[in-house]
Structure 1
Amino acid sequence: MAIIKNNSWLMLFVLFTCFSLKSHVSFGADTVSANQSLSGDQTIVSKGGVFAFGFFNPAPGKSSNYYIGMWYNKVSERTIVWVANREQPVSDRFSSVLRISDGNLVLFNESQLPIWSTNLTATSRRSVEAVLLDEGNLVLRDLSNNLSKPLWQSFDHPAHTWIPGMKLTFNKRNNVSQLITSWKNKENPAPGLFSLERAPDGSNQYVMLWNRSEQYWSSGPWDENAKIFSMVPEMNQNYIYNFSYVSNENESYFTYNVKDSTYTSRAFMDVSGQDKQMNWLPLPTNSWFLFWSQPRQQCEVYALCGQFSTCNQQTERFCSCLKGFQQKSVSDWNLEDYSGGCVRKTPLQCENISPANRKSDQFFQYSNMKLPKHPQSVAVGGIRECETHCMNNCSCTAYAYKDNACSIWVGSFVGLQQLQGGGDIIYIKLAASEFESPKNKKGVVIGGVVGSVAVVALIGLIMLVYLGRRKTATVTTKTVEGSLVAFAYKDLQTATKNFSKKLGGGGFGSVFKGVLPNSSLIAVKKLESWSQGEKQFRTEVSTIGNIQHVNLVRLLGFCSELVGCWSTISCQTVL
């Protein structure tokens, strides 16, 4: 009896297993048939084991969102190349299911609601199946018809990766270009800002990168004889890829393959806005190797850092908020999604309806900048009129004056870039409180801390402010006007390392950090122009030097020399 009983349990187990295999895909299969489904941790694997397909979590331990997609099966680092439900994740992969329904491949969520489909015209076909091919193409086909022509294929609906063998197409029938679109961030495969596509008009055979409607890189025209793009110098006789261009009455497209079939390679739109080509290096490295990226400079990606920010190619984190602004979403920035940009810490006075605050807004100067795109031109007589125009327009957030032309930016702006040399000057409108010095905070160098700076600025001076305990300076000086000291211009150049460490500035000049030979910290304000004579200059210096207040830093001295750096403009400095 015990033997019979044990056999009965064995038969029951076998029957249960057969039933499960009939209703679900077994591991290792490459097909989802009409009577099968995919759920939980089940996967299908292409015939040669190159690709796998199933549910995945892009941020294990951080997110409960699951997606169904495709990845390299023989690569130890899970690398997703295609996602079906990019914008509609599921929260329970065991209750969600992918199956054939009415001739379509359909994903049902945990509530059994359809959230993704191949979206073909519904039919009563019962011989439809989905198969994963070794080239990374998920194909829906009708077994009763010619298998060489798929009903639907993932190659026609790319996500963020351009796999070898996939077409980058311009459809001549509906004038639509195929897009390869970045993830929103490293943990969210939803479509991001950046895309790769054929020239939208189908002409010139270009490949372009876009931030929505703004193009920021082009491959250059295709050379049919050399089989290269003119703006991609990596494409030479030793290039490891074969590119080809095809055009017919229905479409034109580019495609490529790897010359050495043992290479595992992919091109993809990164969340950084760069198009990257990477190759997998097996043992001992077991990692992806960057073959090339376009554009080469990260800051060339349009609007990478979002509004009210600046991009600096020389810093570890390229993006930073402008003075007076802060990150709109710290969590997004930590995921390298800077698209939200920055927001003001303090509203402008012109936006403040409270009559109690009567301080005027001011401008902070940034030098060596690549200016934002899409400014508005204003007809003015000079830089002061340009500044006044922006100040009187509450919607104006910045201005620049270059080549006797005034440019202003109304509302938010993007694309501001910090250069290492050259470039232009831009003035950012900030609330007056952003220029105030912290009380009782010693040893901090801040431009514009003296209450009479506004007066000095109006007469076009260079100002030097003493910030440490005063000691005898071993520089060329002469005591004048009571306790004020006359400094030599060359000594100020030495102290500030030729005015290289900029702390800030405003509409009338810039502030630089300096160190005297006795290690005292100083701040030098160097103005762009002046209009007073020597006698009036010294009178102003004397007046400013006599101002004493607990919240003001003491004025140390000045410089007044004729220097060649400004031609015939007198170089005047207050210390």
Structure 2
Amino acid sequence: MDIKHRTWLMISFLFMCLSLEFHVSSGADTISANQSLSGDQTILSAGGAFRFGFFKPGNSSNYYIGMWYDKISLQTIVWVANREKPVSDKYSSVLRISDGNLVLFDESKVPVWSTNITSTTTSSLEAILLDEGNLVLRELSGNSSTSLWESFDHPAHTWIPGMKMRLDKRTKVSQRLISWKNVEDPAPGLFSLELDPNGSNSYFILWNGSQSHRYWSSGPWNENQKLFDDVPEMTQNYIYDFSFFSNETESYFTYSVKNTSTIISRFYMDVTGQIKQANWLDSTKSWFLFWSQPRQQCEVYDYCGAFGRCSEQTQKSCDCLQGFQRKSEHDWSLQDYSGGCERKTQLQCQNNSAANGKSDKFLTNSNMALPENPQSVAVRSVDECETTCLKNCSCTAYAYEDSQCSIWSGNLLGVQQGASDGKTLYIKLAASEFSSPKSKRGTVIGVVVGSVALVVLLGLVVFLYLRRRKKTIKTTKAVEGS
């Protein structure tokens, strides 16, 4: 092969290499315009604090692309890009810069997530993972760069030091921390934290994003004491520095850790519906819960779902009311109780084919916090209150307190066992859920007969023992007298 031909082959090979899409090497902190991220490839922030790449939560079969701490042994996700659109194969899915955006393409090469910005720039772009935990898409121009998009402006469920949870006063739109759906699904769940869009300088926790279902408030910011009025834990500021800023266009709160070399801290909206501040303990290889709000699990709105019962006295906060069963065992195993419970047996009034003459009945539940959305009914007695609910097939429960009758239709929400000012709640169940008088009488008779038989048997054993003992004594005396 002559020199001219070999030179041509080398040029062709180099041209082919340059035309290929380069994959980022594991450990780099950037994804440039001609690179991509796929499979087990990751990028690592310059100081080694955070890593970014594909991950699979728990036993899920889905893959997501997100960010986690690199310096701790327990993988803890702090940000997820494709929360609502997972991919099934991380090796054929790819994250790369496309048309001025950072875009995730699934195994079918369909875009499932994008930074979604409008950019007319012709300059070079790159995505960089900063050591503060911020993923930034930026435009490069000479020796300078301009940020086009930041993950800090699009929080998921975790608020890490340095992030700002903002309220845009012009649009009245707040950034939100939104919980995962369950421990294996980072899709947006039911619980979220945001700064009051009406400008009270308070943070609220909402259920299902509804302002009408606020179940916790931080209280307003107290500039003199540098804390929120209803979060006394903030007085323990030997670990953190807190700051609140407000002007005509925006308000935001931010915090930082005093000693970043020894403390890793995170604030997150948990699947439990509580906000939690936790610090990593390297000695135990686990997260230490610094504080949480609301303090009581049962203060979380509708935590246990329809016909679920919340209790602070049991190890597991949620179970089903008597006569009901879990709608989804799988969801409950993943700490998602929102589906609640369903009846084990259909009510008699709902069963048109039944003709056994049995009537629905009420089960007495004492020491209960009454459910949400009661309806007041004018009656003269507790019997009349019960009759009113019994005649209405959609009525599922009633309570009679201080000569006032309340009934509930449809699902029972927010039921709590063991409340400090507990009331008595009567829940409608099918007649078959109760033991019949005959079966009770049969049980009593069975117990009595069994007890008598046991006494007779014991008496017989004692009689035979004494008789044998008496014979033994006579024999002994005869031998002695011989």
- Whether TM-score is above 0.5 comes out as yes
Match of 1:154 among 151, 168, 171: 151
Amino acid at match of 1:281: L
The answer to whether structure 1 residue 87 and structure 2 residue 84 are counterparts is yes
Aligned positions of 1:399-438 closer than 5 A: 399-419=398-418, 422-436=421-435
Matched residue, 1:476: none
Give the Å deviation of 1:321. Answer: 0.6
Match of 2:188 among 186, 191, 214: 191
Give the Å deviation of 1:71. Answer: 0.3
Tell me, which stretches of 5 or more residues in structure 2 are unaligned? Answer: 2-9, 452-482
Aligned positions of 1:49-88 closer than 5 A: 49-59=48-58, 62-88=59-85
Query: TM-score normalised to the size of structure 1?
Result: 0.72
Matched residue, 2:249: 250
String of CA shifts for 1:473-495, please: whole Å, max 9, x gaps: xxxxxxxxxxxxxxxxxxxxxxx
The answer to whether structure 1 residue 277 and structure 2 residue 277 are counterparts is yes
Aligned positions of 1:116-195 closer than 5 A: 116-123=113-120, 125-144=122-141, 149-195=146-192
Amino acid at match of 1:119: N
Alpha-carbon distance change, 355 to 186 in structure 1, aligned in 2, over 3 angstroms: closer
String of CA shifts for 1:422-464, please: whole Å, max 9, x gaps: 4101010111111135998xxxxxxxx459xxxxxxxxxxxx9
Give the Å deviation of 1:18. Answer: 7.0
- Distance in 2 (CA, whole Å) between partners of 1:16 and 1:70 is 35
Match of 1:206 among 202, 220, 223: 202
Matched residue, 1:317: 316
Q: Is the 8 A contact 1:349 1:358 kept in 2?
A: no
Q: Is the 8 A contact 1:209 1:215 kept in 2?
A: yes
Matched residue, 2:448: 469
Alpha-carbon distance change, 450 to 243 in structure 1, aligned in 2, over 3 angstroms: farther
String of CA shifts for 1:403-427, please: whole Å, max 9, x gaps: 2211111110211001165410101
Give the Å deviation of 1:374. Answer: 1.6
Matched residue, 1:32: 31
String of CA shifts for 1:325-370, please: whole Å, max 9, x gaps: 1000001111111110000111111111114232111111100011
Amino acid at match of 2:422: G
- Distance in 1 (CA, whole Å) between partners of 2:44 and 2:53 is 9
Alpha-carbon distance change, 414 to 145 in structure 1, aligned in 2, over 3 angstroms: farther
Aligned positions of 1:290-329 closer than 5 A: 290-329=289-328
Amino acid at match of 1:469: V
Give the Å deviation of 1:122. Answer: 4.8
What do you get for the CA RMSD once the two structures are aligned? 2.8
- Distance in 1 (CA, whole Å) between partners of 2:22 and 2:260 is 36
Aligned positions of 1:318-397 closer than 5 A: 318-397=317-396
Secondary structure of the equivalent of 2:233? Answer: coil
- Range that drifts further, 140-149 or 192-201: 140-149
Q: Is the 8 A contact 1:102 1:123 kept in 2?
A: no
Q: Is the 8 A contact 1:303 1:415 kept in 2?
A: yes
Q: What is the percentage of aligned positions where both structures have the same residue?
A: 66
Matched residue, 2:475: none
- Distance in 2 (CA, whole Å) between partners of 1:171 and 1:46 is 30
Q: Is the 8 A contact 2:22 2:34 kept in 1?
A: yes
Secondary structure of the equivalent of 2:298? Answer: helix
Q: Is the 8 A contact 2:157 2:178 kept in 1?
A: yes
- Distance in 1 (CA, whole Å) between partners of 2:308 and 2:359 is 23
Q: Is the 8 A contact 2:140 2:146 kept in 1?
A: no
Amino acid at match of 1:410: S
Give the Å deviation of 1:221. Answer: 1.6
String of CA shifts for 1:58-85, please: whole Å, max 9, x gaps: 02xx332100000001111110000000
Secondary structure of the equivalent of 1:150? Answer: strand
- Distance in 2 (CA, whole Å) between partners of 1:217 and 1:466 is 55
Q: Is the 8 A contact 1:103 1:126 kept in 2?
A: no
Paired residues in the alignment total 440
Alpha-carbon distance change, 398 to 145 in structure 1, aligned in 2, over 3 angstroms: farther
Amino acid at match of 1:141: R
- Distance in 2 (CA, whole Å) between partners of 1:53 and 1:16 is 31
Q: Is the 8 A contact 1:258 1:265 kept in 2?
A: yes
Matched residue, 2:229: 230
Matched residue, 1:289: 288
Q: Is the 8 A contact 2:348 2:354 kept in 1?
A: no
Secondary structure of the equivalent of 2:408? Answer: strand
Amino acid at match of 1:391: L
- Distance in 2 (CA, whole Å) between partners of 1:63 and 1:237 is 38
- Distance in 2 (CA, whole Å) between partners of 1:468 and 1:106 is 73
Amino acid at match of 2:150: Q
- Distance in 2 (CA, whole Å) between partners of 1:348 and 1:468 is 32
Amino acid at match of 1:246: F
Alpha-carbon distance change, 362 to 162 in structure 1, aligned in 2, over 3 angstroms: same
Q: Is the 8 A contact 2:241 2:258 kept in 1?
A: yes
String of CA shifts for 1:191-244, please: whole Å, max 9, x gaps: 1111111113222x1111121221111111211011011111212154421111
Alpha-carbon distance change, 17 to 65 in structure 1, aligned in 2, over 3 angstroms: farther
Q: As a proportion of its length, which structure holds more helix?
A: 2
Amino acid at match of 2:137: L
Aligned positions of 1:475-490 closer than 5 A: none
Aligned positions of 1:3-42 closer than 5 A: 23-42=22-41
String of CA shifts for 1:286-311, please: whole Å, max 9, x gaps: 22111111111111111111000111
Q: Is the 8 A contact 1:349 1:357 kept in 2?
A: no
Q: Is the 8 A contact 1:165 1:256 kept in 2?
A: yes
Alpha-carbon distance change, 92 to 364 in structure 1, aligned in 2, over 3 angstroms: same
Alpha-carbon distance change, 246 to 465 in structure 1, aligned in 2, over 3 angstroms: farther
Amino acid at match of 2:308: S
Alpha-carbon distance change, 360 to 168 in structure 1, aligned in 2, over 3 angstroms: same
Aligned positions of 1:501-520 closer than 5 A: none
- Distance in 1 (CA, whole Å) between partners of 2:429 and 2:112 is 47
Give the Å deviation of 1:47. Answer: 1.0
Q: Is the 8 A contact 2:166 2:174 kept in 1?
A: yes
